[in-house]
């Protein structure tokens, strides 16, 4: 087995960690290097560093912050935000990312997934999907949740797998930052469709929510607010998860 | 101690280099020159990329390894760097270095397991050789779709479902890990200590 991973998410906006609700109302949380170090010490299994304003503002990822985080920690790093080309992905890998996620520009140019995975392997190529309820289904949104696409998340995920993606970072825009639970229906929909690991993201309010996401098919649970606002420490979450029967790494 | 990291040409060796500096007290030389590799006390074969691409990129690697081990130097293969030490692989065109016996195969999909296998798992020591016994039960980080199906000098394994995955192989001066010690937190530090004491004999 591998343990269910608890992934700490640092949403970056111009070098500082921010957090919002449904991708809006961003508030400053703190220094990324300090937070990454603290979360590793608390028992995080992985750190996600996502430059959330890179794509909507058509900027490149802030590489320097990533480099500083990678130097400080010795757990895996997933990095993403604004990756438009193989060269952009290369920069993130060079700066210390173990995995790179693509989102907006993979929708615009699906070949990007293949280009990255052919060189770095599918285990390092993550398809990030931001989904929102629309009518009786879901739609994929890009550009930091600002632009709706005609794609449905399960179909897009399985297309991404064919193209070489090795993991899905699946974020519910509706649930993001609300701490009222992950969108279990969304997780279950995508996890039934593809056979690669799924990182559930958006809505974590408690360890119970995380256990439910795992029940719906997630291999990893990502959270930000509950840790940034110190509602829980990472080790507290893991103790509770473990009591709920979810196998997690207790360092 | 002279430590060399074989340059895979895709520029993601920073974490490995940091790990070496932090745990072995030496700044590694990142090189694709077989002469430099053969002259090292420890040559590390890095862990990300694609099987045949990595073999093609590092020409003269087999000779470098032979000369290095003949001089008493050590090789550490990490993840893909472990897999290329075997005879052949189902990934890409397939020919490996043949330093270790066995084949590299894809994790079977009929197991219902998600592929790639990404995450942390405890290491189980199968062959209680010193100093590796100190790694028993420690959690290491894995990220792979293929694994070395082998019984050649397997010291430690980890599991994915009921699939037993050779995860630590030690054969003379060759040490290979399916896990990433450089991304495994405190366990990675313990691994470095064990490798150092193994090299000191």
CATH of B3-200, one of 3.20.20.70, 3.40.640.10, 3.40.710.10, 3.40.50.880: 3.40.50.880
Q: Is there a catalytic annotation at residue A130? A: yes
Among A24-28, A142-146, A214-218, the range scoring the smallest mean pLDDT is A24-28
pLDDT of B59: 67
pLDDT at A60 over 80: no
Chain A residue at shortest CA distance from B157: A1
- Rounded to whole angstroms, the Cα distance separating B24 from A22 reads 45
- Find the catalytic residue in A45, A51, A130, A176: A130
Check CB contact under 8 Å for A75 and B141.
Answer: yes
d(CA B4, CA B44): 6
A contact set with B (CB within 8 A):
1-5, 40, 45, 67, 70-71, 74-76, 90, 93-99, 118-124, 166-167, 195-198, 219-220, 249, 251
Taking residues B26-34, what's their average pLDDT? 93
Where does the pLDDT of residue A7 fall: very low under 50, low under 70, confident under 90, or very high at 90 and above? Answer: very high
Residue B53 has pLDDT above 90, yes or no: no
Q: Other C-beta atoms within 10 Å of A249: how many?
A: 22
Other Cβ atoms less than 10 A from the Cβ of A196: the count is 25
pLDDT in tens, A10-38: 999 888 999 888 888 889 999 999 999 99
Residue A24 to chain B, least CA–CA distance (Å)? 31
> What's the pLDDT tens digit per position in A81-122?
999 999 999 999 999 999 999 999 999 999 999 999 999 999
Provide, as residue numbers in chain B, all residues whose Cβ is less than 8 Å from the Cβ of A167: 116, 118
Query: Does position B58 have pLDDT exceeding 70, yes or no?
Result: no
Does position B92 have pLDDT exceeding 90, yes or no? no
Compare CB distances from B141 to A76, A96, A198 and report the shortest one's residue: A76
Of the candidates A5, A75, A123, the beta carbon closest to that of B116 is on A123
Tell me which residues of B are annotated as active site. Answer: 79, 180, 182
Q: Is the pLDDT of residue A127 over 80?
A: yes
Q: Is the pLDDT assigned to residue A211 strictly greater than 80?
A: yes
Question: pLDDT for B138-191, tens place per residue?
Answer: 999 999 999 999 989 999 999 999 999 999 999 999 999 999 999 999 999 999
Across the interface, do B10 and A90 touch by the CB < 8 Å criterion?
A: yes
Cα-to-chain-centroid distance, residue B187:
15
Most confident of A19-33, A212-226, B58-72: A212-226
Superfamily of domain A5-243: Aldolase class I (3.20.20.70)
Question: Nearest residue of B to residue A76 by CA position?
Answer: B183
Interface test with A, best of B185, B187, B191 (most A CBs within 10 A): B185
**Percent of chain A predicted with pLDDT > 90:** 86
Quote the pLDDT of residue B109: 86
| Nearest-by-CA chain B residue for A41 | B185
CB contact under 8 A, A166 and B144: no
């Amino acid at each position: 087995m591998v343990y269910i991973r608890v992934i700490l998410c640092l949403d970056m906006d111009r070098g500082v960690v921010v957090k919002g609700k449904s991708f809006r109302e961003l508030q400053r949380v703190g220094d990324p290097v300090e937070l990454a170090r603290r979360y590793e010490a608390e028992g995080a299994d992985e750190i996600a560093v996502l430059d959330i304003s890179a794509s909507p503002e058509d900027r490149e990822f802030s590489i320097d912050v990533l480099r500083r985080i990678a130097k400080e920690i010795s757990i895996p790093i997933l990095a993403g935000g604004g990756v438009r080309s193989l060269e952009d992905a290369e920069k993130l890998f060079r700066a210390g990312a173990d995995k790179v996620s693509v989102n907006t520009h993979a929708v615009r140019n699906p070949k990007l997934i293949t280009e990255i995975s052919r060189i770095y392997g599918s285990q390092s190529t993550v398809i990030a999907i931001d989904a929102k309820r629309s009518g009786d289904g879901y739609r994929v949104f890009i550009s930091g949740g600002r632009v709706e696409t005609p794609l449905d998340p399960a179909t897009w995920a399985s297309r991404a797998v064919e193209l070489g993606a090795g993991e899905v970072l699946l974020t519910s825009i509706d649930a993001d930052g609300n701490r009222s639970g992950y969108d279990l229906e969304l997780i279950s929909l995508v996890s039934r469709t593809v056979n690669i690991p799924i990182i559930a993201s958006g809505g974590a309010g408690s360890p119970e929510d995380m256990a439910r996401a795992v029940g719906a098919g997630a291999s990893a649970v990502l959270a930000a607010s509950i840790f940034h606002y110190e509602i829980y420490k990472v080790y507290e979450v893991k103790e509770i998860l473990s009591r709920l029967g979810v196998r997690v790494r207790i360092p | 101690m002279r430590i060399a990291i074989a340059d895979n040409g895709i520029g993601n060796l920073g974490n490995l280099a940091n790990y070496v500096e932090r745990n072995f007290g030496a700044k590694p030389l990142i090189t694709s020159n077989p002469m430099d590799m053969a002259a090292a006390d420890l040559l590390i074969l890095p862990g990300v990329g694609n099987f045949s691409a990595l073999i093609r990129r590092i020409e003269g690697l087999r000779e470098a390894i032979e000369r290095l081990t003949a001089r008493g130097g050590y090789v550490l293969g990490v993840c893909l760097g472990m897999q290329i030490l075997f005879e052949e692989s189902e990934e890409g065109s397939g020919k490996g270095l043949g330093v270790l016996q066995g084949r590299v195969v894809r994790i079977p999909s009929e197991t219902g397991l998600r592929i790639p296998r990404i995450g942390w798992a405890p290491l189980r020591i199968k062959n209680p050789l010193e100093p590796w016994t100190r790694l028993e039960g420690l959690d290491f980080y894995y990220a792979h779709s293929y694994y070395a199906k082998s019984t050649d000098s397997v010291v430690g394994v980890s599991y994915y479902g009921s699939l037993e995955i050779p995860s630590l192989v030690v054969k003379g001066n060759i040490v290979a890990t399916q896990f990433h010690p450089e991304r495994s937190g405190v366990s990675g530090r313990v691994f470095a200590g064990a490798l150092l004491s193994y090299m000191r004999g």
